Each structure stands twice: as structure tokens, then as C-alpha cells.
């Protein structure tokens, strides 16, 4: 599955502002493989490949999240079949790094 969504900014552009944790936690809950994560900005133009959840947190801590940014996630389902599971945010599910827990508390 491929998702392309507004991340930051984009005032009045749709009903929802998706956070990266949704996609990481969706993948974890359903045993999806995260094939690709792209962070993008249109002005100035910037595209970054993101390797893991902590990279986005480091960008946020460093003030490197643009005013109008986008996220693209490509997830692949493994071959085993099971019912779809609604994700639980990693912070509450206890499956994120200490760095992510610290960012969750400090970036509010």
C-alpha cells in the first residue's frame, strides 16, 4: 500500500494531519514491512529518504520539519493472512525507543 499525506502545515487542506507514528504503528500491528518512507517539502524543494521512526524525531528536535511537509509511506503485506488490526500508538503500546518516548514527551 502507498500513502501520500500532509504532515505539517497545509492549513485547511483536508480533514486530517497524519503523524508518522500512525504508519509505523499500522505496520507493526499488521506485520507489514516498511518498504520506503519519504519526507518531502515543496518550497524549498526537498526530498529525504527516512530509514526509521527515530530519524523523524531527530529532525523534529533539530527544527528540521518544514512549514508544509508531506510524508510518503510504502508498506508491504507479508504472505501470512490475518484479520486487519487497528494500530495502537507506539507510545501506549510500549514498542518505541527511549529516544521516541523522550520526543513524545518533549515535542508536545
Q: Give me the residue spans of the domains in the chain.
A: 2-106
For residue 78, the model assigns a pLDDT of 84
Give the residue with greater pLDDT, 13 vs 72.
72
Cis peptide before 44 (omega within 30 of 0): yes
pLDDT digits (tens, 9 = 90+) for 15-39: 777 889 999 999 999 999 999 999 9
Between the alpha carbon of residue 43 and those of residues 47, 54, 55, the distances in Å are 11, 24, 21
CA distance 71 to 56: 10
Are the C-beta atoms of residues 3 and 73 closer than 8 Å to each other? Answer: yes
For residue 5, the model assigns a pLDDT of 93
Give the residue with greater pLDDT, 32 vs 103.
32
pTM (2 d.p.): 0.85
Amino acid at each position: 500500500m502507498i500513502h501520500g499525506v500532509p504532515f505539517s502545515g497545509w492549513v485547511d487542506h483536508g480533514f486530517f494531519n497524519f503523524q508518522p507514528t500512525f504508519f509505523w504503528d499500522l505496520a507493526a500491528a499488521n506485520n507489514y514491512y516498511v518498504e520506503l518512507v519519504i519526507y518531502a517539502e515543496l518550497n524549498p524543494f526537498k526530498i529525504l529518504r527516512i530509514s526509521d521512526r527515530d530519524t523523524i524525531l531527530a529532525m523534529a528536535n533539530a527544527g528540521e520539519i518544514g512549514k508544509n511537509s508531506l510524508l510518503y509511506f510504502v508498506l508491504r503485506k507479508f504472505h501470512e493472512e490475518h484479520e486487519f488490526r487497528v494500530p495502537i500508538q507506539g507510545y501506549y503500546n510500549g514498542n518505541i525507543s527511549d529516544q521516541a518516548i523522550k520526543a513524545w514527551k518533549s515535542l508536545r
